[in-house]
Amino acid sequence: MINLFKVKEKQKEATENAGSKPPIKEQTPSELRVQRDISELTLPPICTIEFPNGKDDLMNFEVIIKPDEGYYHEGKFPFTFQIPYLYPHDAPKVKCKVKVYHPNIDTEGNVCLNILREDWKPVLNINAVVYGLVHLFTEPNHEDPLNHVAADELRDNPKSFESTVRRTMWGGHENGTYYDGVL
C-alpha cells in the first residue's frame, strides 16, 4: 500500500527545491472532469465554444448556437456555462445571454431543460447539455414553459408563433418586452 503522506511530502520537497518556479496549482475533481468533458466535446457544426477568460478558466465558458433549421434558423444564441464546484454531481448553470422569444427560455436567460434540473445525473456531461440546448431550438417545448405567452402561442397558433419569432429575432418589442436582435 502506498503511503500517501510520504508521497505528499516528496511532492512538497520537490516544489520547494524547484527554485523560483511557482508551485503547481492542484486541480479540483470538478476541474479535472470539465477538462475531460471539453477535450471529448463533439460539437455539432452549428455550435462553437469560446473561453472569454482564457483557456485557463475552463469553469466558465460560452457556447454559441446558430440553428440552421426550424423557427430560429439563422439566429445567433450565446449561452454562458458556469460549472459549480460539485460538478458533475451538480448540473452546470446555463443562461442565455440574449433575450429571445422562446417557450423554454425566459427573459432573464434562464433555461428550462430537464437535464439541467431534476434529470441531471453525474454520468451526463457538457456535450449532453449542448445537444439539449440545440434540441430546444429545433423542437421548442410548449408543455414545460418558462415563457407562458410564447408556449401558449406555439401550442394554439404555430403560424403566428413563427411570425412572432422571426419578428423578435430582428429585435424590438413584443407584449411589452424588448427582445435582442440575433440575426
**DSSP per-residue string spanning 3-52:** -HHHHHHHHHHHHHHTTTSPPPPPPPHHHHHHHHHHHT----TTEEEE-T
In which domain, by residue range, is 32 found? 24-179
With respect to residue 15, please indicate whether it lies within any of the assigned structural domains.
Answer: no
Question: Would you state the pLDDT for residue 27?
Answer: 85
Domains identified in the chain, total number: 1
CATH code: domain of residue 141: 3.10.110.10
Question: Would you state the pLDDT for residue 1?
Answer: 42
Give the integer Cα–Cα distance in Å for 24 and 43: 31
Instruction: Please identify which residue in the block is written with the cell numbers 407584449.
Output: 175
Q: How far is CA 96 from CA 6, 41, 77, 85, 99, in A?
A: 48, 20, 7, 21, 7
- The values of phi and psi at residue 17, to 5°, are -80, -5
Nearest to 162 by CA among 69, 66, 100, 71: 71
Nearest to 62 by CA among 157, 117, 129: 129
Residue 8, H or E segment: helix 4-17
With respect to residue 108, please indicate whether it lies within any of the assigned structural domains.
Answer: yes
With respect to residue 11, please indicate whether it lies within any of the assigned structural domains.
Answer: no
Amino acid identity at 2: I
Q: What angle do CA 41, 122, 27 make, to 5 degrees?
A: 70
| C-alpha cell, 150 | 410564447
User: From first to last of its 183 residues, what are the pLDDT tens digits of the chain?
Assistant: 445 455 556 556 666 665 555 556 688 999 999 999 999 999 999 999 999 999 889 999 999 999 999 999 999 999 999 999 999 999 999 999 999 999 999 999 999 999 999 999 999 999 999 999 999 999 999 998 999 999 999 999 999 999 999 999 999 899 899 999 999
Q: Is 112 a catalytic residue?
A: yes
With respect to residue 17, please indicate whether it lies within any of the assigned structural domains.
Answer: no
Q: State CA 10 to chain mean position distance.
A: 40
With respect to residue 128, please indicate whether it lies within any of the assigned structural domains.
Answer: yes
With respect to residue 157, please indicate whether it lies within any of the assigned structural domains.
Answer: yes
Amino acid identity at 70: G
Strands 172-174 and 93-96: unpaired
With respect to residue 63, please indicate whether it lies within any of the assigned structural domains.
Answer: yes
With respect to residue 59, please indicate whether it lies within any of the assigned structural domains.
Answer: yes
Q: Which is catalytic among the residues 105, 112, 113, 151?
A: 112
Whether the CB-CB separation of 47 and 61 falls below 8 Å is answered with no
Question: Would you state the pLDDT for residue 26?
Answer: 82
Question: Would you state the pLDDT for residue 2?
Answer: 46
